[in-house]
Structure 1
Amino acid sequence: MSSNKLGNQWATLDKDLNRISHVEYATAYVSRPLVGLGIALAFIVLAGLAASVLFGDFPSNFVVIAAAGFGAYMALNIGANDVANNMGPAVGANALTMGGAIVIAALCESAGALLAGGDVVSTISKGIIDPAGMENSSVFIWAMMAALISSALWVNLATFVGAPVSTTHSVVGGVMGAGIAAAGFGAVSWPTMGTIAASWVISPVLGGAIAAAFLAFIKANIIYQDDKIAAARRWVPVLVGIMAGAFASYLALKGLKKIIKIDMPTALLIGVVLGALTYVITAPLIKRQSEGMENRNKSLKALFGIPLVLSAALLSFAHGANDVANAVGPLAAIVHASEFGNFAAKVSIPMWVMVIGAFGISFGLFLFGPKLIRMVGSQITKLNPMRAYCVALSAAITVIVASWLGLPVSSTHIAVGGVFGVGFYREWHAERRLRNSVAKRPEAKRIAPEERRRRKLVRRSHFMTIVAAWVITVPAAAAMSAVIFLILNAIVG
């Protein structure tokens, strides 16, 4: 055989092998999403099997198994959507890697749910509907099942389009829609719904205003000082102390209800004491860390890195303690009604239900969370450790202020509102500096309106998508829930 012919054979073999490698690469690329879906489906099935073993041999056992499966589906969606708001700023600021954020969030969310999660939950989601309006326990069970399915489907859809929404508001809408379909408009507590609707506006605006105020303070007192490092030594320990105090009060109010009931004055006192203690500990550490640093903004970012990571972990713990119960509330209601044949305004959440919630959040975050984490952390506006720190701090302070005012708020709306607040403040500040420079130097080149619009620091497309998703969350979940309830009632009736 000639060498030319042999060379052609090798060339043909190389082409064939190259095609195979391309096919393998394409197969791996296509199957990657299917792996996540497969793991999620396996978790849902395991949740149903666990319910069949742990719940006992009741006549309505199949209802509890189905509810456990949908509860697991809901928990997966919370992990994919809601948790991104706590970890997004830290990842966007490069204080945490995506893997590190997922590990910390999974551990802290699970710990918050299992150690400090509320052991008593309002199964009608804070008095939205009157259980007495239901004909019997069977109607109540199907109403709660419809609420669970619809809220999970809505959060899944929001995650798919890249919109961080409130899972608590999704549950609220689901319960309201099923309640209306089951017992009419009179079954809904409209004053409660009015207060929740007010929180749609108050949560993000308050969170954004507080985040912007802290960023303005940091710019004026640290970033724009001649000696940035000296200014940081003076103010960073104060800011870290404020953060520690705010989170101590936040966790005392929201995260420790299962262990001990704490009123507002006591929570604030705890915050003041721990904040002062943190300042005393932090001041020498910041001084030591800042020795030898260059007098520039990059050095300042390093000083805010560790406080930002800690704040993200604390936010996740408090979220697990506070919001998981809301998500598994309808499941707990179904379990109670199936077991005792009646329904109550408040029931205890069985531990196995909380375990489904905690593990579901962890799996959802690991499998589907990176998309929303990237969106919140880097695609709305550019974040650095100082800006992300302002977002995290505003979340804790806003919850305290809202609790003091007696307003129900969404951690999702507060955190994303904080990101918007930081971005819009930067836009306003940049415009003001531009106007001042033009006023001082008339010969300075003015920027054309088209170029100015292009330089906006908050992406308007994301802003409009997120606000639209917030506005329609409750009515959309309510409409879906009403339809699902009517279908379920027709099938079993």
Structure 2
Amino acid sequence: MAQNQFDPRHLETLDRDLDRLSSIEVASNYVSRPIVGPSLAFVFIAIAGLASATMFGFSDGGFLIVLAAIFGAYMALNIGANDVANNMGPAVGAKAITMAGAIAIAVVFESAGALIAGGDVVSTIAKGIIDQSALSNTQSFIWAMLAALLASALWVNLATWIGAPVSTTHSVVGGVMGAGIAAAGLASVNWPTMSAIAASWVISPVLGGVIAAGFLALIKSRIIYQEDKIQAARKWVPILLGIMAGAFATYLALKGIKKLVKIDLTTALGIGVAAGILVTILMFPVIKKQSEGLENRNKSLKVLFRIPLLVSAALLSFAHGANDVANAVGPLAAIVQASQSGMVESTAAIPLWVMIIGALGISFGLFLFGPKLIHMVGNQITKLNPMRAYCVALSAAITVIVASWLGLPVSSTHIAVGGVFGVGFFREWDADRRRQRLQIGLSKSDLPGREEKKRRKLVRRSHFMTIIAAWVITVPSAALISAAIYLVFSNL
């Protein structure tokens, strides 16, 4: 009987074994986590290639279409991983929505924008940057488009890895330029167009930042710094929401539904003004009721901006899906048309299966790899709350409208990130201005030193410099990669 008695030491041994198993499980989860995303991405790319192979086979140009479908799927994944953060980052950083909620909203609205309102015809030579006659040979054109697609995808992938939100449009432009130069020399490039694109590197973020800072200044002066914040909010928040409604109505009319109906700038502005007035009138009683019982402090004001911020993020995602899906599928559509017709056309129709690859790729890329850049844009540049994030979202829509009016090529990525910088730098300036008022009359010894001033900076300079550097080298980097890939392809 003594041998069958329970020995407490057995429990200690069991505990040690369970601890080891638990440690192994944690370690295996940690190791496998970085593998899951790339594995699922590889599966999606493989499915895109197999689907195109089923339709076209590997003969009579079919192999090139399959290769283009693989590169297009890869590019779409990278657009989802990098570009979509600009729409969702501010809302997540402001804690208006969780990361999971942001991804769910973006996936739905990006896909809807791409499939419902994505252009059914795209320019085969991105924004006319290469002379059409320089790539009149069908084989050279196809190799150039393949090189541009792969090069731009590789560059965006690298930028996502280092945590820099870059313009996928500029990446494609650089890819096409590099392949064009490798195929037909420097004379084939439309340099005036390239100059306009280079100017947008400065125009987009500065315009976005100035507009975002301007609206934040308005909110601070008219609401936050008022003695009765709630009463001020009842007056100004409906007007601000009306401005947002008008801006987004105009933005969607210009950029979001152009496949469904063509609308000129004047008509779009008329639609925006009507929508803005209507929403302003409707919001006065809504905001009055919503603000009842709120305490007279800044934290209470955040409640009034949360839902409009979510709506703006969803609309930005819809417009992004409608516009930027062409960055992934435009060159693919051009290759499909050139392979089937044997001719290089100035425009290319986008087949439904090509659009589906673009829409699903953007969604999967966002789901698998998007949180890194969303976190960067929303949290790591400067601290955001719903009011600051509202200013960023509003500046994105207004900047695109202003750029369309002026005929300037701008990047949605540069605008959104520029808006975040604008909000952050305005906060620094405003805080410093208010601090100086309080320091009047103090002795020099009582003033903060250099280290203390540096600690008070509200925009992280390291992220600022990394992002600016990535923007500047996007076009030349994508061009160099594309030229190298084209030379390899053309010599196979």
| TM norm structure 1 | 0.97
Aligned equivalents of 2:297, 2:418: Cα separation in 1? 29
AA aligned to 1:182 is: A
Secondary structure of the residue that 1:66 maps to in structure 2?
helix
Q: How does 1:120-269 map to 2 (within 5 A)?
A: 120-134=121-135, 136-269=137-270
- Written as runs of structure 1 = structure 2, the 5 A alignment for 1:91-106 is 91-106=92-107
- Preserved contact between residue 437 and residue 444 of structure 1 (Cα < 8 Å): no
Q: Which amino acid aligns with 1:404?
A: W
Structure 1 residue 119 corresponds to structure 2 residue 117? no
Q: Write the distance in 1 (CA, Å) between the matches of 2:443 and 2:329.
A: 62
The one-letter code matched in structure 1 to 2:381 is I
Question: How far apart are 1:442 and its partner, in Å?
Answer: 5.6
User: What are the superposed Cα offsets for residues 459-492 of structure 1, whole Å, 9 maximum, x if unpaired?
Assistant: 001000000000000000000000000011111x
Kindly indicate whether the alpha-carbon contact (under 8 Å) linking 2:325 and 2:359 is maintained by their aligned counterparts in 1.
yes
Shift in Å, 1:60: 1.2
Counterpart in 2 of 1:476? 477
- SS across alignment from 1:126: helix
Is 1:446 aligned to 2:447, yes or no?
A: yes
Map residues 289-328 of structure 1 onto 2, 5 A cutoff: 289-328=290-329
Q: 2:282 corresponds to which residue? A: 281
Closer, same or farther in 2 for the Cα pair 1:411/1:20, shift >3 Å?
same
Question: 1:459 aligns to what?
Answer: 460
- For residue 16 of structure 2, what is the amino acid of its counterpart? K
Cα distance in 2 for residues equivalent to 1:11 and 1:27 = 24
Where does 1:309-388 land on structure 2 (aligned, <5 Å)?
309-388=310-389
Deviations 1:372-425 (A, max 9, x none): 001100110000000000000000000000011111100000000000000000
Residue in structure 2 matched with residue 486 of structure 1 by the alignment: 487
CA positional deviation for 1:3: 10
CA distance in 2, matches of 1:55, 1:111: 27
User: Structure 1's 444 and 259: CA in aligned 2 closer, same or farther, altered over 3 A?
Assistant: farther
Aligned to 2:424: 423
Report the RMSD for the aligned CA atoms in angstroms: 1.5
Q: Does the 8 Å CA contact 1:131/1:140 hold for their aligned counterparts?
A: no
Q: Deviations over 1:286-310 (max 9, x none)?
A: 0000011110001100000000000
Q: CA deviation at 1:8?
A: 3.2
- Give the conservation status (yes or no) of the 8 Å contact 1:380–1:458: yes
Separation in 1, partners of 2:19, 2:491: 57
Q: Quote the offset at 1:49 in angstroms.
A: 1.5
**1:443 to partner: Cα distance:** 9.0
Which one-letter code corresponds to 2:66 in the other structure?
I
The answer to which of 134-143 and 69-78 deviates more is: 134-143
Corresponding residue of 1:396: 397
Check the 8 A contact 1:58/1:339 in 2, yes or no: no
CA distance in 2, matches of 1:268, 1:259: 18
Judge which range, 56-65 or 476-485, deviates more: 56-65
Query: What count of residue pairs does the alignment treat as equivalent?
Result: 491
Q: Is the 8 A contact 1:121 1:349 kept in 2?
A: yes
State the alpha-carbon separation in 2 of the partners of residues 14 and 2 from structure 1: 22
Query: What is the CA distance between 1:440 and its match in structure 2?
Result: 5.5
Q: Give, in whole Å, the separation in 2 of the partners of 1:471 and 1:264.
A: 30
Distance 1:460 1:330 in 2: 36
Q: Does the 8 A contact of 2:205 with 2:417 survive in 1? A: yes
SS at match of 2:448: coil
Superposed CA offset, 1:437-474 (max 9, x none) = 11166699411111110121000010000000000000
Cα 1:135–1:248, aligned 2, differ >3 Å: closer, same or farther?
Answer: closer
Q: Which amino acid aligns with 2:42?
A: L
TM-score between both structures, scaled by the size of structure 2: 0.97
Counterpart amino acid of residue 200 in structure 1: W
Q: Deviations over 1:112-137 (max 9, x none)?
A: 11111111111111101123112510
C-alpha distance in structure 1 between counterparts of 2:3 and 2:467, whole Å: 68
Query: Residue 122 of structure 2: SS of its match in structure 1?
Result: strand
* Structure 2 runs not aligned, ≥5 long: none
- 2:25 maps to 1:24: yes
Q: Deviations over 1:48-106 (max 9, x none)?
A: 12212334675111111111011001000000000000000000000011011001001
- Alpha-carbon distance in 2 for matches of 1:314, 1:5: 66
Aligned twin of 1:435 = 436
1:43 is matched with 44
**AA aligned opposite 2:458:** L
Answer yes or no: is the 8 Å Cα contact 1:438–1:444 preserved in 2: no
Range 164-173 or range 4-13, more displaced: 4-13
**1:59 to 2:51 alignment:** no
| Counterpart for residue 14 of structure 2 | 13
Question: Within 1, Cα distance between the matches of 2:329 and 2:136?
Answer: 23
Q: Distance in 2 between matches of 1:178 and 1:162?
A: 26
Counterpart of 1:369 in 2: which secondary structure? helix
Amino acid corresponding to residue 485 of structure 1 in structure 2: Y
The AA in structure 2 aligned to 1:117 is G
